Amino acid sequence: QTWASWDIDYLKYDNCKNDKTSPKVRYPPMRDALNKTGRPIFFSMCEWGREDPSSWAQSVGNSWRTTQDIQANWGSVSNIYEQQIPIANRSGPGGWNDPDMLEVGNGNLTEEESKTHFALWAILKAPLILGNDIRSIDNTTLSIISNADLISINQDKLGVSAT
């Protein structure tokens, strides 16, 4: 209830330092508590895909991490994208696969890699969460992450992922 009184819109419940309780058991009580607040709070679950959340989490949260942490290099981005292909159809309005934050603007991706990374996350309907320091964002990065066409693809009402 405190979070609702603070007008919180988004809660990421991470898997760090857990007591080894399955997320299938651990996350529903948080869902229930958030629902009781009467405020719509986006519930993002992170268990790094260990228990195949794309197969069960849509009844529990609004998004679920499907992979280990992303790194700011093309090998990591492309590997995580490839892991999304077989589960892309398990995501849709109200419940989204989350392949982790965007690494656009973190300095280790080329401009073309950054554009591709943003486009891939957009067509996956992944949450477009920035992983860079927005206080020092450069014009190239700002141009990539504010691409209105890609954002409209990501946000379309059908919510059907492409691969």
Residues catalogued as catalytic: 14, 69
- The secondary structure of residue 45, as a DSSP letter, is E
CA distance 139 to 135: 12
What are the backbone angles phi and psi of residue 131, rounded to the nearest 5°?
-105, 10
Q: Residue 17: how many CB atoms within 10 A of its CB?
A: 5
- Please name the amino acid found at residue 125: K
Q: Helices 74-84 & 111-124, crossing angle to 10 degrees?
A: 20
Rounded-to-integer distance, Cα 120 and Cα 114, Å = 10
